[in-house]
């Protein structure tokens, strides 16, 4: 599919943004495409955390197998997708002027042939970008609710 990047300015300090982002179980509260998260190991934070995420985008439903591959406290959270859809994802938390934060979300995913492979990915790209932008708006709203 190639890379999809989206970002948002959040009117909250980086520590507040990280605190919410680092709570992986909470991702279902702001990710419209994440229906459920089930941890598959003992860890809940940090590199090596593994989980299944029931993902739904329109009529497509899959269980995404994920492993946290990067955990820079307060700065970055990276994952590897190893289920039906494969690839990597990464969130970066960066300070912005005025005690605000820029949150950037990158994904680089590959679809299997039976989901259309490259053609399916090309068609899905604008849909996923729109879903993820909405996710970041919901995330920002939740962070600013608790930060004020």
DSSP string, the chain: -EEEEEEEEESS-HHHHHHHHT-GGGGGGT-TTEEEEEE-SS-SSSTT-EEEEEEEETTEEEEEEEEEEEEETTTEEEEEEESSSEEEEEEEEEEETTTEEEEEEEEEEE--GGGTHHHHHHHHHHHHHHHHHHHHHHHHHHHHHHH-
| C-alpha–C-alpha distance, residues 78 and 103, integer Å | 13
Q: How distant is the alpha carbon of residue 65 from its chain centre?
A: 13
Report the alpha-carbon distance of residue 36 to residue 55 in Å, rounded. 8
Query: What is the reported pLDDT for 123?
Result: 81
Q: What is the pLDDT of residues 104-145, one digit of tens each?
A: 999 999 888 877 888 878 888 888 899 999 999 999 999 998
Question: For residue 1, is pLDDT > 60?
Answer: no
CA distance 67 to 48: 6
How does pLDDT run across 11-37, given as a tens digit for each residue? 999 999 999 999 999 999 999 999 999
The domain 2-147: what is its CATH number? 3.30.530.20
pTM of the model: 0.92
Strand pairing partners for 106? 5, 90
Residue 3: the pLDDT is: 85
Per residue in 70-111, pLDDT (tens digit) is 999 999 999 999 988 899 999 999 999 988 999 999 999 988
């Amino acid at each position: 599919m190639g890379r999809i990047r989206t970002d948002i300015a959040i009117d909250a300090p980086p520590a507040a943004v990280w605190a919410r982002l680092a709570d992986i179980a909470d991702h279902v509260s702001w990710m419209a495409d994440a229906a459920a998260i089930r941890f598959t190991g003992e860890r809940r934070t940090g590199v090596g955390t593994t989980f299944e995420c029931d993902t739904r985008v329109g009529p497509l439903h899959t269980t995404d197998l994920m492993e946290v591959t990067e955990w820079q406290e307060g700065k970055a959270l990276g994952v590897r997708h190893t289920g039906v859809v494969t690839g990597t994802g990464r969130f970066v938390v960066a300070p912005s002027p005025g005690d605000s934060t820029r949150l950037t979300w990158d994904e680089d995913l590959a679809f299997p042939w039976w989901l259309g492979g490259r053609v399916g990915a090309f068609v899905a790209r604008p849909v996923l970008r729109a879903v993820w932008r909405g996710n970041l708006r919901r995330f920002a709203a939740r962070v600013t609710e608790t930060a004020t």
